[in-house]
Structures are given as C-alpha cells and as structure tokens.
Amino acid sequence: MGMTRTPLIAGNWKMNLDHLQAVALVQKLHWSLKDASHEFDDVDVTVFPPFTDLRSVQTLIDADKIPFGIGAQDLSEHDSGAYTGEISGEFLAKLNIGSVIIGHSERREYHAEDDRVVAAKTQAALKHGLVPVICVGETSEDLEKFGASAVPVGQLETALENVNADAEIVVAYEPVWAIGSGQAATPEQAQDVCQKLRDVIRAKLGNAAADATRVLYGGSVKSSNIASFMREPDIDGALVGGGSLKVDEFSAIVRFGKHVGV
C-alpha cells in the first residue's frame, strides 16, 4: 500500500439485514473493534447497507460518534423525476451518506448496467459530493478469452471519462468469478490487475490522482486471506460481501494489520 493512502475496508451488505439488524451489527462491530483496541485512524471502515437502513445507521453513527463511513449500494443517474423505485444522489447527500458503490457485477448482470450507465452514475455521484466506489472485473468467460486485465481496464477507462483530476474516487477490482464463490484471486493476480487499474487512473487523471486513489480488491475476502492482499503495493483495501455480515469476521478483516506477518 502506498505511503499516503489510508487502507479502506468496505462492507457491501447487499440485500441483507433490515434496519434493526443493521443498527445491531454496527454497534457490535464498533464494540468488537474497541475491545480489540483497534486504532481507528489507521484503517477507514465503511459499511454499505440497503437503502432502507441508511437513515437508522446514519443516526446511530452520528449519535454515538462511531468512526465508520456509510455508503449506499447504488444511485440513480438522474437527480429527480419519473423514475419509479430509484434513489438520487441528492437524497443520499442529504442523509450525509459519503460514498456509493457503482457498477457492482450484480447490478451489471441483473439490471443490465453497462459501461455507459456506470459512467453516468459516476458523474451523478460526484455531482452530489459522493465518493463513487467504481467496481470493475472480468467474468470467468472474459478471463478465458481476454485474460484478467483487459475487461476491467476497459470498464474503468469508460467510467473515468469526464471525471476531473481532483475528484475523489475509489476503484474496486472484483473478478466476477471470485465474488461469493469462496475462490479468491491470488494476491499476485489481484496486484497485477490493480496495478494496471492504477495505470488507467494515471493516464486519465494524472499522477496525483493515481497516487491518492485507493484501489481495492474484492471477491471472497476473509480474515484468513486479507493480510496477503494487503501486502501488495497496489491493493489499498478490500470490498467485502459475505464476510461483512459477521461481526467477528469483519472485525478481524478490519484488523488485518495485526496479522500482516501471518
């Protein structure tokens, strides 16, 4: 990880936990980290609950001064209007939501989100002061046909069109075959693609952005493999799905620094 980049451990809850369960999990996670004397300044933690949980989680975090970020799992490319069922960046910003996942492979696959939509949503997030967590990654078919990096590199190039050099963004490399499969990429494979994604950031947004932007790995991250990813120079954190729903497991992932040498 780079000298100036604070690691980010992000928990994508997907469609799990209602607002009461969400409040309970965030409280327990906070207690678990405090019990373990975790240095909160060393690692940024952001949770991405479902939309209906956001207000409750935000209220809790604010009231109890819990040092976690909150993000949404998606947003509309539009600000308002006749878009039934959609949520705009404007509404998220009003709730003090700091970031938003864009282009998760489940959105790309089940909601036909292509690179144009991902680019439009990236613009919508930035317009409303939200940090877009732009997800890219190849399917197993892509891997066979084009290798690991061609598809995610192309996806990121499109997403970054018209993004300003000083915009804060996060990039998540999530090989689709590794998501929810229990089969994580090797740290070497992940590093190789994350380095190429950083090269895209450098080419599109310049050196300062490439040095400052956090590039995460996602796909079957667990407490038992997180340290091996975090040792890689271009991996600045993780986007965690299943492992973010269990307090002890996610707490251990956040505390990867304690087991980096393992």
Residues designated catalytic = 104, 174
> 15 Cβ partners below 8 Å, 6+ apart?
50
12 binds ligand PEP (CB under 6 A): yes
Q: How far is the CB of 1 from ligand PEP (least distance, A)?
A: 19
Total interface residues for ligand PEP by CB under 6 A: 13
Residue at 241: amino acid letter: G
Residue 11 binds ligand PEP (CB under 6 A): no
Residue 240 interacting with ligand PEP (CB under 6 A): yes
- Residue from 131, 179, 216, 252 touching ligand PEP (CB under 6 A): that is 179
Opening angle at CA 221, ends 215 and 227, nearest 5: 75
Binder among 239, 247, 252, 253 for ligand PEP (CB under 6 A):
239
| DSSP code for 181 | S
Rule CB under 6 A: say whether 216 interacts with ligand PEP. no
* Extended strands (E) in the chain: 8-12, 44-48, 69-72, 99-102, 131-136, 170-173, 214-218, 237-240
Tallying the residues shown for the chain, one arrives at 262
**CA–CA gap between residue 102 and residue 213 (Å, rounded):** 16
Stretch that binds ligand PEP, among 162-170, 173-181, 185-193, 250-258 (CB under 6 A): 173-181
Choosing from 53, 113, 138, 174, the residue that interacts with ligand PEP (CB under 6 A) is 174
Select 14 or 30, whichever has its Cβ closest to ligand PEP: 14
Q: Does 191 bind ligand PEP (CB under 6 A)?
A: no
Question: CB 243 → ligand PEP: shortest distance, Å?
Answer: 6
CA neighbours closer than 13 Å in the CB half-sphere of residue 133:
32
Rounded to whole angstroms, the Cα distance separating 219 from 184 reads 6
Binding site residues, ligand PEP, CB under 6 A: 12, 174, 179-180, 218-221, 239-243
